[in-house]
Structure 1
Amino acid sequence: MPPKMAVFLLVFHLLGLPIFASDPDPVQDYCVPNAKFGAGRTPRVSVLPCKNSSDVTTDDFVFSGMKNFAANFSETGLAALSVNPTLFPGLNTLGMSFVRADLRVGGINPPHFHPRATEIAYLVRGRVYSGFVDSSNRVFARVIEGGEVMLYPRGLVHFQMNVGNKPATIFGSFNSQNAGTQKIPATIFGSGIKSELLEKAFGLSPRQIGQMRRKFDPKTTR
């Protein structure tokens, strides 16, 4: 076979292979990281050596951090505790993580997305306007009440707002141990994108861009 034809067939074959973006399947029952090798310092604990199975206990698979959750609310009225292998090493290599989010009355979880995970959100209590926007710019949103569940597909922008007259609590679960979170306002105005581009993209004046930068990135001086 001519060399060029062989290269063409190889590339064609590779392009036809499915691309898997989710966490890899585990090759053992569990992998609780060995604390002496630095577990807890980074969410990428899957590269750390596992404990010897004889040293693993039931406590490695129980997380009590939500029991006495001390809400530290942001300006938007949101308090969240994200739990991945950094806080709960027992999750390591199992392809999942979770979050508790509390919303004050009128509080919001600003538009954001998770690049590596689909999220299922269970509303523990309250009434929340909840939704996401697909790639055709169509919004799927409604008010959900305690006991209902909403799904946010991976990589799509979604949001929540407490529209009830009492605090709301949400439990979210992700199909990745490190879902990642990018908040749209902070990503746009707090990441260092050139002001000139933002002015043209949003039709805002330099003064308005400066105001947005100060709001979402106090460290910036541009």
Structure 2
Amino acid sequence: MKMICTLFLFSLLFSSTYALDFCVGDVKGPESPAGYLCKPSAKVTVDDFVFTGLGIAGNTSNIIKAAVTPAFSAQFPGLNGLGISIGRLDIAVGGVIPFHTHPSASEVLLVLQGKICAGFVSSANTVYLQTLTKGDVMIFPQGLLHFQLNGGGTPAIAYVSFSDPSPGLQILDFALFANDLSSALVEATTFLDDAQVKKLKSVLGGTG
């Protein structure tokens, strides 16, 4: 009887472990800070664990001349709950990913093509800056302001990976100048004059 009970307990343990192997996100539902709810296992397919979009160049015909192709949990449901994600970064000549932060994740950047000047600023306002070439890797700690710009005369490509399936993004320039915060408040908090603030708001779509 003792042996039967032991085997039964092992069976329950194995079944529970197997059931928790993954939690493919139900991306049709809402996303919370903990991620998406799990899709029913009967509806999970191999396609949930495969993403094929990183071989396609992003559209860099925009104001920053750059593009990010995300493979986060919203686009890649199999990542849900696994603590990882990836994306492709395309930066045209003269392009830049402006100062931004990822509130939920640290970032690793791997250069595939071209030159990328990249850096971040610590909470002590120390600048860590490097020009990266093919095969170089740089890390950006979670929550710190960082940027990437094309450092050469040819298009640059990189893969970026994150320590969260939904790393979040806040771009500093857009946070300041692409909303309806009054120009007077922006001027007071940035030490910019009225003409500069209103010019940037007009460029980035802000009002006020």
Give the TM-score band, short-chain normalised.
Answer: 0.7 to 0.9
Q: Which residue pairs with 2:145 in the alignment?
A: 157
Q: 4+ residue runs of structure 1 moved beyond 4 angstroms?
A: 40-45
Are the counterparts in 1 of residues 105 and 142 from structure 2 also a CA contact under 8 Å?
Answer: yes
Identical positions, percent: 33
**Structure 1 residues 91-137: Cα deviation after superposition (integer angstroms, max 9, x where no partner):** 11111222211011121111111111000011111111111000111
- Structure 2 residues without counterparts, runs of 5 or longer: 1-18
Change (3 A) 1:40 1:168: farther
| 1:114-133 alignment runs, 5 A limit | 114-133=102-121
Are the counterparts in 1 of residues 98 and 147 from structure 2 also a CA contact under 8 Å?
Answer: yes
- Structure 1 residues without counterparts, runs of 5 or longer: 1-26
Of 186, 192, 198, which residue of structure 2 is paired with 1:198? 186
Query: Following the alignment from structure 1 to structure 2, what is the Cα–Cα distance between the partners of residues 111 and 150?
Result: 16
Are the counterparts in 1 of residues 60 and 91 from structure 2 also a CA contact under 8 Å?
Answer: no
Q: Secondary structure at the match of 2:53?
A: coil
Change (3 A) 1:213 1:204: same
Are the counterparts in 2 of residues 107 and 161 from structure 1 also a CA contact under 8 Å?
Answer: yes
Change (3 A) 1:42 1:120: farther
1:67 pairs with 2:49: no
Of 90, 98, 109, which residue of structure 2 is paired with 1:102? 90
Are the counterparts in 2 of residues 43 and 84 from structure 1 also a CA contact under 8 Å?
Answer: no
Are the counterparts in 2 of residues 41 and 86 from structure 1 also a CA contact under 8 Å?
Answer: no
CA RMSD in angstroms, aligned pairs only: 2.1
Q: How many angstroms does 1:161 deviate by?
A: 1.1
Q: Which residue pairs with 2:8 in the alignment?
A: none
Are the counterparts in 2 of residues 43 and 178 from structure 1 also a CA contact under 8 Å?
Answer: no
55-64 or 180-189, larger mean C-alpha shift: 55-64
Q: Which residue pairs with 1:139 in the alignment?
A: 127
Q: Secondary structure at the match of 2:35?
A: helix
Are the counterparts in 1 of residues 57 and 90 from structure 2 also a CA contact under 8 Å?
Answer: no
Change (3 A) 1:69 1:126: closer
| 1:1-222 alignment runs, 5 A limit | 28-34=20-26, 39-40=27-28, 43-44=31-32, 46-52=35-41, 54-218=42-206, 220=207, 222=208
